[in-house]
Structure 1
Amino acid sequence: MARNRYDVDEVLETPFDFAHLKRSFVYIKKYKGKMITALVLSVFAAISGLLGPLITQYALDNTIPQKNMGQLVLLTLAFVGTIAVSITFSTIRSRIMTVVGQDIIFDIRTDLFKHLQELPFEYYDNRPHGKILIRVVNYVNSVSDMLSNGIINVILECLNMLFIMIFMFFVNVKLSLVVLSGLPIFAVIMMMIKKRQRKAWQDVSNKSSNLNAYLQENITGARVTQIFTREEENAQIFDRLSEKYRKSWINAVKYSNLVWPATDNVSTLVRAAIFVVGLLVLTPAAVSLGTIVAMTSYASSFWQPIMNLSNIFNNFINNIAYLERIFETLDEPATIADKPNAQDIGDITGEVKFDDVTFSYEQGKTVLEHISFDVKPGESVALVGPTGAGKSTVVSLLSRFYDLDSGKITIDGKDISQATLHSLRSQMGIMLQDSFIFSGTIYDNIRYGRLDATEEEIREAAKIVCADEFISEMKDGYMTEVNERGSKLSGGQKQLISFARTLLSDPKILVLDEATSSIDARTEKLLQQGLQRLLVGRTSFIIAHRLSTIKNCDKIMYIDNKGIAECGTHDQLIAKKGEYYKLYTAQHMDE
């Protein structure tokens, strides 16, 4: 998938083969009972419909010449009956397959969502989110009909062709061969169209993905767009992407629209050939009027399944590009996952050790090199240093959001890479710089990580972080609805709610990454009092640019040049007059 660009087409890492289609049968097998029922109903509907031309032939060749009105009435009722049976069975079959199609959509989309939740941060860091969304929503909708009705219809139309051929040869062998003579011509036409058509629809998929990625990015950044008055420039970019999508769609439809006319023209030629052969080549004694009418009807019926198969093939080619991208997402490795022999880490006390840890986000570009340190249970550790030095990376590695290049991280002497992710992260409270608020109530946002929390526990957590006061002043209090990303809350309010959410989980290890960056000085002072109570007995890692907030930490580590440049208490580092001293003095003078 294109990395961080909305204007770069996606490139499939592996070409499509029929193993992908075979793999999709996993979703079909679950509903094989319903699909077989639908197929049987379709067969009865098809056979019922094929009896009509035989009834017509008999009426033209026998009943009408004999002027047998009673028999003609019976034949008419029988003809109407075959139509009624065909329509009834087809309707029931259609309803069954509609349900099956929706069930398949549900299954594929559920698998995609579950897999996306297991993928590492790196996957989302490197990809436009709009290109991920379109796979879960649009692409799944598109392929579901192919996997449900498409497979059934292929079998059904093949059976229809077989039944029609049996009926045709029963009526007249020579005229049946005339009907079949159009197949080689049709096959040549389809071979000419197939390859170009698939490439054209892959291009449509790319352009649709690009457009969706840019749209999602601009919706998320709408405020920034208006602040910098970028509406006109963004509209021009959107127009360019829309124009590329329009051109790719027209090009793809051009190839798709060649299929139906080709089938229709061959069918028309074949029906004309029946009249030519039947009236001019064969003798009237060999071919009756009823036979010609019946064969013409069967010829239309014979080419109808072929036209239907062409449309199915058309739809199949169109959706192959989408199926490829769905499986590409499902095949994306969940690199941060439980190892085969992973075990529950058990109840932890919070002893942390980094042993010669080296890490890089990109191969060959290390962020941290050979870092080693120990943290005793209950100690508070502050990480300071210049922007981009790797402070947030340290706590991300502790939470195993990324795997190490080399070295080892242990908690209570147990290697975290050998522990199950759930047992590890469920005992860690992590508050990142981005205070993400989900749509819903404030109440639900606070208990997001602990659904069994009582109302009293939720309020207590909010009180500790000084959030209870502003929440209680809202019209609906804790039941106040907040929008996606908490757009109607201030930055400080979002951070306090996130703080309450983290603290409610009662973590053994607490990670605060710039947790108070959006909070005013007065609220921060009150918050610090609550935190001091909470930090007792918990191992904590605190990243803060305001050095006044971490003076009382048991250990301060100055991160720079891919490692720990200095380590000690506040007083020790001040006395050393090194990098921390320079940073603290400069900040203190500014204040």
Structure 2
Amino acid sequence: MSDTAHTHQEDEFHSRLDTGMWLKLFRRARAMPRYLVPLIATAIFIAAAETTLSFMNKWVIDGVDRLGRDAPFALYITAFLALAALTSGGVWVFIEMAGNLSNRLAHDIRRDGFDRLQELEFAFYDTRPVGWLISRLTSDCDRLARIIAWGTLDIVWGSVFVTMIAAALLWINWRLGLIVLSVLPPLAFVSYWFQKRMLLSAREIRKYNSRITAGYNESIQGVRTTKTLVREAANLGEFKELTTRMLDASVRNARQSSLYYPIVATLGALAGGLALWHGGVLVNTRFLGADFTVGTLILCVQLAGMFFHPINQMARILTEMQAAQAAGERVLGLLATEPKIKDGPAVLERVKAEEPKAANRADGNTPPISALSRSVRIPPAPDGLPARIDTVEFRDVTFRYENGPVVLQNFNLTVRAGDTIALVGPSGGGKSTIVSLVCRFYEPVSGSILINGIDYRERPLQWFQSQLGIVLQAPHLFKGSVRENIRYGRLGATDAEIENAARLVNAHGFITQLDRGYDTEVGAGGNRLSTGQKQLISFARALLADPQIFVMDEATSSIDTETEQLIQRGLETVFAGRISFVIAHRLSTIRNAARILVIGRGRIEESGTHAELLARRGHYHELYTSQFKRERLEAALNE
């Protein structure tokens, strides 16, 4: 699935180093002046100290050359020790600051990325595999934070050091300075040539790394299917192809780096050699009147040699930035992705206007919503409009998934509080699309979905979705205890409310028989429980939230008959007073529904009660009788 999506993402990237992107990331570091300012200050100090050290060498050499044993050696030693102590202190400060900055940046980027992932609509996840997203929030975040912190140090230190050295060489002897600086144009050309190639190979590495992470995720999740279909060898072959491509890209990138650094080092050695040659000529002519001492010659050679050390460091940072740019583009792309389903300006204004009123209400005195009854009042909606949902209406709704065919065309439906609407029909007919639109996981392409006569896009998204209770075919439990998983429906619920919700859906009996009752750990994804037990817990969780709209998406299709009967006995309580949508695989689940809709090709083909639809002897009659015969046959075979 993901190759197309990944390719699309790669095509959006820049073909060269994007300074604008790195400046955006650097702005995050600027928001931490407590660490950034000392980091920059110590980088400048270290550059000045290293330049000063070369001049101190000249001072000592010329002093000994002139005074011999009478030179002030104690003064020299004291000066060198003082400079070494100050330099060591500076190094400690920048290591401390860079480490703090790096870790805090990684923390903030991860937090913002996770927050954005929770805001994004379902359509975003339709084209992004899990591995792609995991890579963004783990390795990519760490890499970017490290480069921003330590790269800032090296770039500031390197640029200041290079500037000081160049100024010193030109001040000592402008001809000598120009000779050393003459190697900069070829260095710039070499850097530009390698930059483009290393950037492309680094981007390939990140691309295949994301696909490999996705491959791990899919293989672990689908390990049972793999083993039952004996697909191990085939899966290994496909995975090996991905890792081979990443290996090729990694070797190519390493080869480019291994060529780039020696070329830069060679140019540095060339500059030092030229400085030594020209300086030697000047020393030889000093007896003819030129004021160029041996100490000055050694100073120039040292400066010429040191000149390319910071350039090497900055070249290394440049290489790392090239390698990490793909990660930066992806992370910033994720952070910059605006949710397509979000509150509009008018909704935000209404919510903001209601904030003072909400603050004036008694803090914590609003009665909690009870999982037992609809008689307890519903807390006010944050936009000041009626909080009780009395009707949900589809009005001329047309919908298609991105780049897909039309799923619903001019669809109309009105549901009132207390109604249970059952949706049946063939796969792909539009049943799940209808409930996804009701839940505002997607929004209509045209037409409107109205809540109490108001387009639900004019109500706060978070408030509306907090009124939903959803039970899916494959329930998901989080790692933790049974109690914690039920409480996930309403974090402020008491233990008594949790147990009441479990009793209402007939889950209390099996929970009390577990080793530690409600405190039993369910394992990752609930793998320590059966599918039926997980389903009952998910029912209790949804009921605890006391939703005004309840959705069951084939929630009983993968459980045994005994568990289904337990659930059915609790459905009457669950549905009481609520708007309920039930997508049913087992038609016996929906015989008591107020209205049954047969959905096919995105429209309502039949509508009525169970008895009315059977009497019509249409599509529903055919579905029901064929399923009834099949269940009778299965029961007879089991006996």
> Normalising TM by the smaller chain, what interval?
over 0.9
Alignment-derived partner of residue 285 in structure 2: 283
Distance 2:140 2:449 in 1: 41
Is residue 515 of structure 1 aligned with residue 555 of structure 2?
yes
Alignment-derived partner of residue 379 in structure 1: 419
- Shift in Å at residue 449 of structure 1? 2.7
SS in 2 for 1:357: strand
Residues 165 and 176 in structure 1, CA contact (< 8 A), matched pair in contact too: yes
For 1:399-439, what per-residue CA distance to the aligned partner results, in whole angstroms no more than 9, with x for missing partners?
11101022111122121122111111111211122211112
Do the aligned partners of residues 165 and 217 (structure 1) sit closer, same or farther apart at CA in structure 2, a change above 3 Å counting?
A: same
SS in 1 for 2:67: coil
Is residue 233 of structure 1 aligned with residue 255 of structure 2?
no
1:409 to 425, 444, 449: 449
Alignment-derived partner of residue 583 in structure 1: 623
Alignment-derived partner of residue 209 in structure 1: 210
Is residue 439 of structure 1 aligned with residue 479 of structure 2?
yes
- Shift in Å at residue 77 of structure 1? 2.7
- Shift in Å at residue 8 of structure 1? 5.9
SS in 2 for 1:257: helix
Moved more, 166-175 or 359-368: 166-175
Distance 1:144 1:571 in 2: 65
Residues 384 and 559 in structure 1, CA contact (< 8 A), matched pair in contact too: yes
Residues 553 and 583 in structure 2, CA contact (< 8 A), matched pair in contact too: yes
Amino acid aligned to 2:224: R
Alignment-derived partner of residue 199 in structure 1: 200
Residues 64 and 71 in structure 2, CA contact (< 8 A), matched pair in contact too: no
Distance 1:244 1:33 in 2: 43
Alignment-derived partner of residue 111 in structure 2: 110
Distance 1:179 1:298 in 2: 10
Distance 1:186 1:536 in 2: 77
Alignment-derived partner of residue 491 in structure 1: 531
Amino acid aligned to 2:175: K
Residues 355 and 407 in structure 1, CA contact (< 8 A), matched pair in contact too: yes
- Shift in Å at residue 283 of structure 1? 1.3
For 1:68-127, what per-residue CA distance to the aligned partner results, in whole angstroms no more than 9, with x for missing partners?
456113202312321221121111111111101111111111121111111111221222
Distance 1:352 1:185 in 2: 71
Distance 2:333 2:168 in 1: 46
Amino acid aligned to 1:322: A
Distance 1:181 1:5 in 2: 48
Distance 1:229 1:349 in 2: 51
2:299 to 275, 289, 294: 294
Moved more, 55-64 or 573-582: 55-64
Distance 2:13 2:266 in 1: 37
- 1:239-258 map, 5 Å: 239-258=240-259
Alignment-derived partner of residue 513 in structure 2: 473
Amino acid aligned to 1:395: V
- Shift in Å at residue 218 of structure 1? 0.7
Residues 510 and 541 in structure 1, CA contact (< 8 A), matched pair in contact too: yes
Do the aligned partners of residues 315 and 582 (structure 1) sit closer, same or farther apart at CA in structure 2, a change above 3 Å counting?
A: same
2:344 to 324, 339, 347: 339
Alignment-derived partner of residue 11 in structure 1: 10
Do the aligned partners of residues 572 and 550 (structure 1) sit closer, same or farther apart at CA in structure 2, a change above 3 Å counting?
A: same
Is residue 309 of structure 1 aligned with residue 314 of structure 2?
yes
Residues 46 and 157 in structure 2, CA contact (< 8 A), matched pair in contact too: no
Residues 410 and 416 in structure 1, CA contact (< 8 A), matched pair in contact too: yes
Alignment-derived partner of residue 223 in structure 1: 224
Which structure 1 segments of 5+ residues have no match? Answer: none
Is residue 168 of structure 1 aligned with residue 208 of structure 2?
no
Is residue 328 of structure 1 aligned with residue 338 of structure 2?
no
SS in 2 for 1:451: coil
Alignment-derived partner of residue 571 in structure 2: 531
Which structure 2 segments of 5+ residues have no match? Answer: 351-382, 632-639
- Shift in Å at residue 170 of structure 1? 4.3
Alignment-derived partner of residue 269 in structure 1: 270
Do the aligned partners of residues 4 and 575 (structure 1) sit closer, same or farther apart at CA in structure 2, a change above 3 Å counting?
A: farther
- Shift in Å at residue 395 of structure 1? 1.0
Residues 6 and 207 in structure 2, CA contact (< 8 A), matched pair in contact too: no
Distance 1:305 1:364 in 2: 54
- Shift in Å at residue 5 of structure 1? 6.1
Residues 129 and 216 in structure 1, CA contact (< 8 A), matched pair in contact too: yes
Distance 2:276 2:389 in 1: 91
SS in 2 for 1:429: strand
Amino acid aligned to 1:60: I
Distance 1:230 1:363 in 2: 32
- Shift in Å at residue 45 of structure 1? 2.4
Give the number of equivalent residue pairs: 590
- Shift in Å at residue 280 of structure 1? 3.5
Runs of 4+ in 1 over 4 A off after TM superposition: 4-10
Moved more, 492-501 or 469-478: 469-478
Residues 259 and 314 in structure 1, CA contact (< 8 A), matched pair in contact too: no
Residues 5 and 128 in structure 1, CA contact (< 8 A), matched pair in contact too: no
Residues 159 and 310 in structure 2, CA contact (< 8 A), matched pair in contact too: yes
SS in 1 for 2:345: coil
Moved more, 502-511 or 466-475: 466-475
Residues 495 and 518 in structure 1, CA contact (< 8 A), matched pair in contact too: no
Distance 2:175 2:63 in 1: 22
For 1:187-227, what per-residue CA distance to the aligned partner results, in whole angstroms no more than 9, with x for missing partners?
22212212112111111111212212211111111121122
Alignment-derived partner of residue 146 in structure 1: 147
SS in 2 for 1:566: strand
- Shift in Å at residue 9 of structure 1? 8.0
Alignment-derived partner of residue 20 in structure 1: 21
How high is the TM-score relative to the length of structure 2?
0.88
Distance 1:190 1:295 in 2: 25
Moved more, 477-486 or 371-380: 477-486
Amino acid aligned to 2:408: L
SS in 1 for 2:396: strand
How high is the TM-score relative to the length of structure 1?
0.95
Alignment-derived partner of residue 350 in structure 1: 390
